[in-house]
Amino acid sequence: MDIIETKEKIEFDEKNPLIEIKGLQKVFGTKEVLSNVNLIFPEGSTTVILGLSGGGKSTIIKHIVGLMKPTAGDIFVEGVNVATCSEKELRAVRKHIGYLFQDGAMFDSMNIFDNVAFPLREHFKLSEKEIEAKVMKMLNMTGLDAERVSKLFPNELSGGMRKRAGLARAIIMEPKIILYDEPTSGLDPITSDLITQLILKLQKELGVTSVLITHDMKESFKSADYLAFLFEGEIIEWADNEAFKNTTNPYVRQLLNGSGEGPIQFSE
């Protein structure tokens, strides 16, 4: 089935998005993972990026934070093109971005306290007392026993605890933008829901602009103002929550149905 027509229909009505991705292409070796990604993230909104495993979702957000450089295309964050800007400009942009890595990546040689404090020490000049107050507050906020957990090392934490500590680190700078790469995958449903509630709280109270990657449809519809579907290297659907739920796009319908039956098939 030809998906080009579906792709071309997307029009972004937002005039001043906080983040804008234009014509992003990323090739690893000979593999083109992203061919032409166009996407916007309006200020103060939460956008969920959906897609198949290995489709390039994490690759997109690594470009937003400047950890990867595109093969082609532009990524504007608060008006700065992070694809071409200087290291100094990139540092300034990163000061406003919290990033929860998919694997909850932590520095193994540092305890959780120092891991969570890391962005503060990188970007701000604060007293140790101020740092401690913030670190403990953030760890508690994510439902961890801060006193105990702060002294542990990453390899002493369960997967779920690591996610929470990663979340504490992502939000500690009270960033304007938060990128969540599968914040709830691998967690029990109750912890997942608590994390989702926390994301929503940050959104409402701080007016954060969030980008959320998840495979959990329930979580998606609870959190999202907008949803985008990445398929074969392009965003083939972008819509607000209600419109996305009701779309007739057969690719999105298959995704929503969580079905192996439909236009999306693996090639033999």
Does 214 sit near Mg ion (CB under 5 A)? Answer: no
Nearer to ligand ATP, 21 or 138 (CB): 21
Nearest to 172 by CA among 110, 118, 126, 94: 118
Nearer to Mg ion, 144 or 179 (CB): 179
Q: How many CB atoms lie within 10 A of CB 139?
A: 25
Residues forming contacts to ligand ATP in the complex (CB under 6 A) are: 28, 33, 51, 53-59, 102
Nearer to ligand ATP, 113 or 251 (CB): 251
The CB-of-58 to ligand ATP minimum distance in angstroms stands at: 3
The CB-of-62 to ligand ATP minimum distance in angstroms stands at: 7
- DSSP output for 215-256: S-HHHHHHH-SEEEEEETTEEEEEEEHHHHHT---HHHHHHH
Nearer to ligand ATP, 59 or 184 (CB): 59
28 binds, among Mg ion, ligand ATP, none (CB under 5 to 8 A by kind): ligand ATP
Instruction: Give the total residue count for the chain.
Output: 268
Judged by CB under 5 A, the stretch of 2-10, 88-96, 102-110, 187-195 that binds Mg ion is: 102-110
Give the end-to-end CA distance of the chain in Å, rounded to a whole number: 16
Nearest to 243 by CA among 263, 227, 222, 219: 227
The CB-of-61 to ligand ATP minimum distance in angstroms stands at: 8
Nearer to Mg ion, 25 or 185 (CB): 185
Contacts (CB under 5 A) with Mg ion, residues 233-262: none
51 binds, among ligand ATP, Mg ion, none (CB under 5 to 8 A by kind): ligand ATP
Nearer to Mg ion, 58 or 203 (CB): 58
50, 168 Cβ separation under 8 angstroms: no
Tell me the torsion sign for CA atoms 221, 225, 231, 233: negative
The CB-of-140 to ligand ATP minimum distance in angstroms stands at: 29
In the shown chain, the binding pattern of residues 216 to 235 toward Mg ion, with x for contact by CB under 5 A and - for none, equals --------------------
- Put the strands of the sheet holding 209-213 in their side by side order: 97-100, 177-181, 209-213, 46-51, 226-231, 234-240
Residue for token digits 């937003």?
64
In the shown chain, the binding pattern of residues 48 to 77 toward Mg ion, with x for contact by CB under 5 A and - for none, equals ----------x-------------------
CA distances in angstroms from 257 to 1, 61, 185, 214, 245, listed in the order given: 19, 26, 19, 16, 11
Q: Give residues in contact with Mg ion (CB under 5 A).
A: 58, 102
